[in-house]
Structure 1
């Protein structure tokens, strides 16, 4: 019996999906680079005359409290889950000797680890700002990464849980436990795709989605990447371990897009965003 040749689009999806996986892991970089440090903005309400404005002179800061964005208002979960997810799928690719899984996930794991370091670097409070005296202007010192409990949970918990999952995954790899490793990787992949919605409670409550709370590049990259992997998983390799997390990821991407569409700030001046301390 002759096996029919796969549809050209399925072949295209299988060839392009590894590239979009790399683009997906690159997508959080603009957000992390553009969002200010935890201590780069924020002032006492008393000394109005000496305040330093980070907005264009023609633009006044919106009063909506949810528009205040620094690294102190963003969750760590998208980056920690991305690091664990990339590492687990790298192990799964090594177990299957599948190059389309090995290379993009090795790159993704390395990038995600660098994002965690950048997140930690921007979360470390300093005693003084570059252009003004933070010790005089700040009403209260910004929280350090180790004292935050809204990442969700704490930084120590992310390290402990992430390390434990990676040890379990490595055990599955050494034991050749393909199904168990696939199930673990699928679970973590689902957490990664849903992680941008970690702030959805406060977004819905305040009816506003601040810039960076749900990064648009990550949402778009997730949608494209998950669509291609879903096509390849369903029609190409016919592997539920490839198909299931990406179908779920596609659903999460659409949910993120709807939240951004419904709650993104309206009527902002060109090039202006609200940058204040939460």
Structure 2
């Protein structure tokens, strides 16, 4: 098996596995008939991220990007559907969903209609997707600072940290093989933040704390 094909398979397996951690939240919502203890924005922002990278993959004719983000978008839409079904405050969720829909439509209008097809369209879309991905990887830094202050890693998921490290590493290597810096560069912060989390587990966690706990968060 060629190295690029191996990386493609690794990207698919690790990324789909990471997206699937939300199934635990879905199971929790169905069991309790409530979505009060589940975060909605990670589902919504991840779905937008999937849509952007899906379009980028279609423009580049990259089957790996297309497959991963089709699966990811479908899973996020499933989580969103169940969240909207079980949440009591539907007005807040509806307004956030409408805002996300407006952003998605505006992005599609700009990149598909206003921009001419070609390298400029691909470059600007890649840059937008990269910036959005970097912001998602860096978003938990405030929580990491709080963990350092409190000396507790209870809010961290060790299994998700491992999944994030494997996923971001495989995408970074995949982008490097393709010489596509829009894929490579935004996944590098995922490696860095994962290493920081590993250090925090080593520094603060007891053996009982380093247990699998699947929780969908920004990565």
TM-score bracket for the superposition, by shorter chain length: 0.7 to 0.9
Structure with greater Cα Rg:
1
Alignment of 1:23-62 (within 5 A): 23-34=17-28, 37=32
Alignment of 1:64-83 (within 5 A): 72-83=36-47
Deviations 1:32-54 (A, max 9, x none): 42477596xxxxxxxxxxxxxxx
- 1:111: which partner in 2? 75
Matched, 1:255 2:199: no
- 1:137: which partner in 2? none
Distance 2:82 2:143 in 1: 20
- 1:60: which partner in 2? none
Matched, 1:99 2:63: yes
Distance 2:86 2:207 in 1: 28
Q: 1:260 to 1:33 in 2, by over 3 A?
A: farther
The TM-score normalised by the length of structure 2 is 0.73
The CA deviation at 1:158 is: 3.5
Distance 1:12 1:173 in 2: 32
Distance 1:200 1:242 in 2: 25
- 2:15: which partner in 1? 21
- 1:245: which partner in 2? 186
The CA deviation at 1:24 is: 1.9
Q: 1:81 to 1:215 in 2, by over 3 A?
A: farther
Distance 2:202 2:192 in 1: 15
The CA deviation at 1:238 is: 0.7
Q: 1:31 to 1:165 in 2, by over 3 A?
A: same
The CA deviation at 1:184 is: 1.4
- Comparing both structures, which one devotes a greater share of its residues to helix? 2
What runs of 5+ residues in structure 1 fail to find an aligned partner?
A: 1-6, 40-70, 125-143, 148-154, 271-278
- 2:217: which partner in 1? none
The CA deviation at 1:9 is: 4.0
Q: 1:165 to 1:255 in 2, by over 3 A?
A: farther
SS at match of 1:75: coil
The CA deviation at 1:168 is: 3.4
The TM-score normalised by the length of structure 1 is 0.60
Q: 1:119 to 1:250 in 2, by over 3 A?
A: farther
Distance 2:205 2:25 in 1: 16
What runs of 5+ residues in structure 2 fail to find an aligned partner?
A: 212-219
